[in-house]
């Protein structure tokens, strides 16, 4: 299965681009974790790996 497409030289994504936050959210979902609830505390503030972004790419999950 292929997801996305690059230019003729493989330099840049041109179709179905995926941001790193989306990739993290998808990998966490495959591991059974909710990326919106997974937080860690740093400097007195809760942070998420996907920040306030990230959507799970359900079209690539089988």
Domain range annotation of the chain: 18-57
pTM equals: 0.75
Question: What is the structure's pLDDT at 50?
Answer: 86
Q: What is the pLDDT along the chain (62 residues), one digit of tens a residue?
A: 567 889 999 899 898 888 889 889 999 999 999 998 988 999 999 898 888 888 898 888 87
Got the DSSP string for 9-39? Answer: TSSSEEES---HHHHHHHHHHHTT--TTT-E
Question: What is the structure's pLDDT at 28?
Answer: 93
Question: What is the structure's pLDDT at 1?
Answer: 54
């Amino acid at each position: 299965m292929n997801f996305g497409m690059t230019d003729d030289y493989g330099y840049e994504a041109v179709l179905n681009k995926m941001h790193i936050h989306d990739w993290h959210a998808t990998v966490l979902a495959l591991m059974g974790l909710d990326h919106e609830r997974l937080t860690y505390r740093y400097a007195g503030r809760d942070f998420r790996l996907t920040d306030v972004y990230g959507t799970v790419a359900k079209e690539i999950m089988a």
